[in-house]
Structure 1
Amino acid sequence: PEIRIIENGRNLGYTGGNNAGMLAATGNYFLLLNNDTEVAPDFIDPMIHLAESDTEIGAVSPKIVYYDHPDTIQYAGGGKIDLTRGRISWRGWMQKDDGRFGEAVETTLLHGAALLVKRCVVEKVGLLNEHFFAYYEEIDWSLSIRKLGYSIYFMPKSLVLHKESMTVKKDSPLRVFLMNRNRIYLSRIHTGFWQHLFFIHYLLGVSLSINLIRFLSKKRIDLVMAYCKGIIAGFRNRDIQTKKYLKWR
């Protein structure tokens, strides 16, 4: 098949880059795949077959293992979603890939490193919210897809190896900034008044102290600054619920 390369002219992040690709694509499915992944042969087919089996299935994510430790699972489906504390978990995370997660099951969350979504679903739920830029955007999308009545599935027969955080390093100030800011965005969009208020109290009363101590113990003033800037940015942006990126353009 032909490959079309899109030059955006600037870094649009995970959200803007994938949105540009989806707008240019013509198929019935969109496959979002990180640039720090490798895939098993024919990994797409099981996801397509699963999605085709039920009109209520909106999106599918494959089994994701660590590239350097391919016997260790990163993602075998979504786990608990705790919007009150801005935390999410992955089913099977850091567990041995010993066959325990060998069945296709309905799950809570997609994984941004690799996911397949139906075009008809994106036309209803909208493109990725570009306010996020990177991190938590797939959580926002997953919650929105499920609110529309579609289900999300995990497909273990599709395998992806993930070189995690090669684009943005784990201790990068940019990553700390985006992760912290976007937790606030996610809470603002998907929680009610009282739950969001509880989240703010937890963020400022518990999470802030824990992370500042952790960063200072490493003598990482740059991460302290990034964390604090993330909080400020999260509260300043009052347009996070704008419809600009929630509609199919």
Structure 2
Amino acid sequence: MPATHPIPLVSIITVNYNQPEVTCEFLASLDKSRFRNFEVIVVDNGSRLDPTAMIHQRFPEVTVIRSDDNLGFAGGNNLGLEKARGEYIFMVNNDTEITESLLDRLLEAFQSEKKVGMVSPKIKYFHHPDTIQYAGFTSMNACTGQAFPIGKMEKDHGQYNQKRPTYSAHGAAMMLSRKVIDEVGKMPEVYFLYYEEWDWSTQIRKAGYKILFEGNAEIFHKESLSVGKMSTLKTYYHIRNRILYMRRNVQAWQLAVFTFFLLFAIAPKALVQYICKFQPDHVSAFLRGIYWNIRTPLTPSHE
């Protein structure tokens, strides 16, 4: 950080769910960081076995918070936020490993422009370290409920090594200022899994803050260790929360167009694919995700 600025405290929050070894690999990677003024909070999200003793034996300086229940992605991070003391909060997946300049460059991004509320780094695949997972997001299509990660599956040749605005941070790695959280509120817990960072990013942008992608900061992600690429949990929450995000964040006419698109494009295509693949459990999960939105009243966007 520039000498004219006091060195801030960064609170690093990561959530563990039945992956204590993966979490310890992440904690070990923090030794690479050049920036050292941080505290680390691990939230155990209702794992079958309490990992507290294991983590404290190897990393005695880490704060471990144990929840008896699985609070979801947002709930787990928000529980950690209650104990965080930092001026900046870095919420990061436990299935990542950091690079030595990551924290420095994320912090520098907050000083580069006015009204920066959240910053995400370039995310690359851990097992394919030359391949990009995230270099920012496109805007969310207000009629289809779709957005796409920029650079996904591209080889990294430095083409995204710049800092620029993006529509949403990536939930695997996002740094926020305490000021923004105090103003906008915590991550919305109604989603439980998927789309919560999009909703949070939308609320932060509506409050007048910028969300930046910092391509000169990198982190490596061990994708899909928690849920699995074809799990019914993923099928359920993806469609449930895609609809929920639209209900909470678009105008009435856009929601009407989205509903038409859902009924006559999204749902038929998905159901045909699941039936053709002999996946009745995914058909059920998909339909339950739609039905959840039919029977569940809408909550305000700030909750």
Root-mean-square deviation (CA), in Å? 1.3
Amino acid aligned to 1:214: Q
Question: Which of 197, 221, 233 does residue 174 from structure 1 map onto?
Answer: 233
Letter in 2 for 1:67: F
Q: Which amino acid aligns with 1:215?
A: Y
Pairing 1:1-249 to 2, within 5 Å after superposition: 2-241=61-300, 246=303
What TM-score do the two structures reach when normalised by structure 2? 0.78
Larger Rg: 2
Deviation at 1:80, TM superposition (A): 3.0
CA distance in 1, matches of 2:192, 2:170: 16
Give ranges in structure 1 of 5+ residues lacking alignment. none
What is the CA–CA distance in structure 1 between the aligned matches of 2:277 and 2:127, rounded to whole Å? 26
Structure ranking higher on relative contact order (CA contacts 8 Å, 6+ apart): 1
Using the TM superposition, give the Cα deviation of residue 242 of structure 1 relative to its aligned residue in structure 2, in angstroms: 6.6
Q: Work out the CA distance in 2 between the residues paired with 1:83 and 1:35.
A: 31
Q: What's the TM-score once normalised by structure 1's chain length?
A: 0.94
Q: Residue 242 and residue 111 in structure 1: after superposition, are their counterparts in 2 closer, same or farther (change >3 A)?
A: closer
Q: What do the CA deviations read for 1:117-165 (whole angstroms, capped 9, x no partner)?
A: 1110011111111110010011101111111110011112221111111
Letter in 2 for 1:154: F
Partners in 1 of 2:301 and 2:164 — Cα distance?
33
Provide runs of 4+ in structure 1 moved above 2 Å: 52-55, 239-243
Do the aligned partners of 1:101 and 1:156 also contact (CA within 8 Å) in 2? yes
Deviations 1:9-43 (A, max 9, x none): 11111010000011110111111101111111231
Q: Would the aligned equivalents of 2:248 and 2:298 in 1 still touch at CA under 8 Å?
A: no
CA shift, 1:65, in A, is 0.7
Letter of the structure 1 residue corresponding to residue 290 of structure 2: I
1:164-206 per-residue CA deviation (whole Å, 9 max, x = no partner) reads: 1110112111111011000111001111111111111111111
Contact 1:61–1:155 under 8 Å retained in 2: yes
CA distance in 1, matches of 2:218, 2:116: 19
Q: Find the aligned partners of 1:191 and 1:242 in 2 and give their Cα distance.
A: 11
Ranges in structure 2 where 5+ consecutive residues have no aligned partner: 1-38, 40-60
- 1:95 alignment partner, SS class: coil
Q: How many residues align?
A: 244
Q: Please report how far the alpha carbon of residue 64 of structure 1 lies from its aligned counterpart in structure 2 after TM superposition.
A: 0.2
| Identity between Structure 1 and Structure 2 (%) | 38
Post-superposition offset of 1:240: 2.9
Q: Bigger CA drift: 96-105 or 156-165?
A: 156-165
8 Å CA contact 1:185–1:240 kept in 2: the answer is no
Measure, in 1, the Cα distance between the counterparts of 2:142 and 2:187: 19
For 1:240 and 1:165, how far apart are their aligned partners in 2? 29
What is the letter of the counterpart of residue 158 of structure 1?
A: A
**Partner SS state of residue 50, structure 1:** helix
In structure 2, relative to structure 1, the CA distance for the partners of 1:149 and 1:92 (3 Å cut) is same
Distance 1:194 1:235 in 2: 18
